[in-house]
C-alpha cells in the first residue's frame, strides 16, 4: 500500500506474487481500497519478470522493487513446514507446483528459458528422504552456510533408514542429535535455522530466481529508472551486491547505496524480523 500511495495519482503498479494464497489475500485488500484501479497483480515468479512486464505494458518501468523476505504468513499460517517451531509436513513450496530440478541444478541453477515453467512437485520431504548424503551435505552447506552440514546429512540418512522423515519436528530432532551440545544451547540463532533455510532455498530455486529476476528488472527499466532490493540473508545480499558491482563496472548501473541501508531501532522494535534486512538501490545508466 505504501508504494501505491507514493505513485498516486496516475501511477501503475505491477505486483508479482508466486504464492496463489498470498495473492488472493492481497487482491482482496487492494480491491477494497482506493487503489483498486492502480494495481495489476500476477500469480507467477519474478524469474519470468520480463515477459510478464511485456504482457502487461510495463516494458519501460520507472522502478522495480524486490522484497526477498519470507512472509510472516508462510511461517505462521501456511502449514507448509517453513518454521521449525511448528509441527507441519515438510513441504516448503511457495507455489503448489514447481519444477523438479536435479541435485546439480539445485546447487548450480536450473538453467535459463524464456519462461520458467512452474510444474512438478518437489518438496523438502523429497529432498530429505531421497537425495544422497553428499548431495544433502552440499545443499545444507552451500545454501545454509551450516558448519555441521556433513554430520547433519549423515544423521538424516541414518534416520530415514528406520522410517521416512515427514514432519518438521522429526527433522529438528534429527538435527538436534547431530550437532554438539554447545551449538544447540547457545543463544541467538536456533540450531535448525540454517538447515531449514537451505532446504527452502533448494525447493524453490530462490538464488537462481534472484539472479534471473535482477537481470530482467534491469532490462525493463527505462534510463534513470531505479532498482531496489531488500534482502534478508548473506547469500541473497551477496548476489545483489555482485550484480550491482558488475553493472557499475560495465557502465549499465549507477550504485545509489554504497553501503546497504539497515532498519533503525524503532523499526526493529515494531518489526523484529527487519533486523536482518538490507536495502540496496541502483539506477539504470
pLDDT at 106 over 70: no
Co-location of 85 and 97 in the same domain = yes
Q: Supply the pLDDT for residue 186.
A: 84
Q: Supply the pLDDT for residue 256.
A: 98
Co-location of 109 and 171 in the same domain = yes
Co-location of 153 and 68 in the same domain = no
Indicate the range of 66-75, 85-94, 133-142, 234-243 predicted with least confidence: 66-75
- CB within 8 A of 245, min separation 6: which ones? 255
> Taking residues 68-79, what's their average pLDDT?
89
**Where residue 44 sits, what CATH number does that domain have?**
3.40.50.150
Residue with cell 546447487: 107
pLDDT at 108 over 70: no
Range of the domain at 230: 2-72+207-284
Mean pLDDT, the chain, as a whole number? 90
Co-location of 63 and 93 in the same domain = no
Q: Supply the pLDDT for residue 110.
A: 44
> Taking residues 31-52, what's their average pLDDT?
91
Co-location of 183 and 216 in the same domain = no
Q: Supply the pLDDT for residue 120.
A: 41
Q: Supply the pLDDT for residue 112.
A: 43
Do residues 137 and 145 make contact, with C-beta atoms less than 8 angstroms apart? no
Co-location of 140 and 114 in the same domain = yes
**Where residue 177 sits, what CATH number does that domain have?**
1.10.150.170
Co-location of 221 and 280 in the same domain = yes
In 172-285, beta strands by DSSP E = 221-231, 253-255, 261-262, 278-284
Co-location of 11 and 95 in the same domain = no
pTM recorded for the entire structure: 0.87
What's the domain count of the chain?
2
Co-location of 67 and 82 in the same domain = no
Q: Supply the pLDDT for residue 104.
A: 54
Buried b / exposed e over 6-40, threshold 16 CB at 10 Å, is eeeeeeebbbbbbbebbbeeebeebeeeebeebbe
pLDDT grade, residue 187 (50/70/90)? confident
Domain boundary among 163, 178, 204: 204
Co-location of 87 and 136 in the same domain = yes
Co-location of 182 and 108 in the same domain = yes
Domain boundary among 204, 225, 245: 204
Co-location of 185 and 230 in the same domain = no
> Taking residues 211-234, what's their average pLDDT?
96
Amino acid at each position: 500500500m505504501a508504494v501505491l500511495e507514493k505513485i498516486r495519482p496516475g501511477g501503475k503498479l505491477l505486483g508479482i506474487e508466486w504464492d496463489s494464497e498470498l495473492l488472493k489475500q492481497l487482491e482482496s485488500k487492494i480491491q477494497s481500497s482506493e487503489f483498486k484501479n492502480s494495481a495489476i497483480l500476477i500469480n507467477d515468479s519474478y524469474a519470468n519478470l520480463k515477459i510478464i512486464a511485456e504482457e502487461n505494458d510495463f516494458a519501460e518501468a520507472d522502478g522495480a522493487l524486490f522484497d526477498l523476505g519470507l512472509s510472516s504468513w508462510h511461517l505462521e499460517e501456511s502449514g507448509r513446514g517453513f518454521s521449525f517451531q511448528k509441527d507441519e509436513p515438510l513441504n516448503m513450496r511457495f507455489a503448489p507446483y514447481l519444477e523438479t530440478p536435479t541435485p546439480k541444478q539445485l546447487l548450480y541453477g536450473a538453467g535459463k528459458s524464456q519462461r520458467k515453467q512452474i510444474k512438478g512437485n518437489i518438496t523438502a520431504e523429497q529432498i530429505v528422504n531421497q537425495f544422497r548424503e553428499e548431495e544433502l551435505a552440499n545443499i545444507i552447506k552451500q545454501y545454509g552456510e551450516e558448519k555441521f552440514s556433513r554430520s547433519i546429512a549423515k544423521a538424516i540418512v541414518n534416520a530415514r533408514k528406520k522410517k521416512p522423515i515427514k514432519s518438521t519436528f522429526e527433522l529438528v530432532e534429527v538435527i538436534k542429535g547431530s550437532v554438539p551440545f554447545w551449538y544447540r544451547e547457545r543463544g541467538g540463532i536456533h540450531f535448525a535455522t540454517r538447515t531449514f533455510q537451505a532446504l527452502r532455498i533448494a525447493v524453490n530455486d530462490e538464488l537462481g530466481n534472484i539472479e534471473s529476476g535482477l537481470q530482467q528488472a534491469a532490462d525493463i527499466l527505462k534510463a534513470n529508472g531505479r532498482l531496489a532490493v531488500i534482502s534478508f540473508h548473506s547469500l541473497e545480499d551477496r548476489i545483489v551486491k555482485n550484480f550491482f558491482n558488475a553493472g557499475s563496472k560495465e557502465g549499465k548501473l549507477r550504485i545509489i547505496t554504497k553501503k546497504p541501508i539497515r532498519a533503525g531501532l524503532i523499526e526493529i522494535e515494531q518489526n523484529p524480523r527487519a533486523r536482518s534486512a538490507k536495502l540496496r538501490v541502483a539506477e539504470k545508466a
